[in-house]
Amino acid sequence: MPLSPATTTLRTAETSVPIISELARRWSPRSFDPEATIADAQLDALLEAARWAPSASNNQPRRFIVARRGTHAFDTIVSALVGFNAAWAHTASALIIGIAETSSVEGDVRPYAQYDLGQAVAHLTIQAEAEGLATHQMAGVEWEKLVAAFDLPENMVPMTVTAVGTVAEADRLPEALAERETAPRTRLPLAELVLLRS
């Protein structure tokens, strides 16, 4: 059931110029509905959006491990989270590890792997928004635990864990996190971001 406008689900950015609605609505909640699930078709759409993200020389050096809540793989990922992440991520419907393939099987270095992975995850998050889902990317992770648990080779470097699910009210969170959940959204002005515009 959709939440009322009084909840934290409606946090559309106040942009300086109009942008597409999926980008304006996207934000990173921590409060997820622990009963909500993701349909196979939705999950496939997220991964397909990531698959079609730009890639240097079309090398596509990004890989993903996808784990739904209630599975051993999901619990393994949760156990590697640190700090605030460990307090809320277990309620997400799924957790997705984003992995940069830093070299080919033949040993050719892929210097843009991290950049390409970032683009793929960005595409995934916007597709999630279009599907009515929310995402939250995390870097507070004990990566060595995930490397060992999923037997990742040296050229497969996990960079991020993305929580995916349905947003719930902020009051489900501990007080400190609830305050962050409802704080005003801010960004640096364009004048600070753009060094030169001719």
Per-residue pLDDT of 95-109, as tens digits, reads: 999 999 999 989 999
- Strand-by-strand arrangement of the 134-138 sheet: 62-68, 94-101, 156-165, 134-138
Question: CB-based contacts of 17: which residues, under 8 Å, 6+ apart?
Answer: none
User: Which of 70, 79, 80, 7 lies closest to 38, judged by CA?
Assistant: 70
Token digits of residue 97: 């590890």
Helix (H, G, I), strand (E, B) or coil at 92: coil
pLDDT digits (tens, 9 = 90+) for 50-63: 999 999 999 999 99
Judge whether 138 and 81 are in contact, CB under 8 Å: yes
pTM beyond 0.85: yes
Using CA of residue 43, residue 44, residue 49, residue 50, what is the dihedral sign? Answer: positive
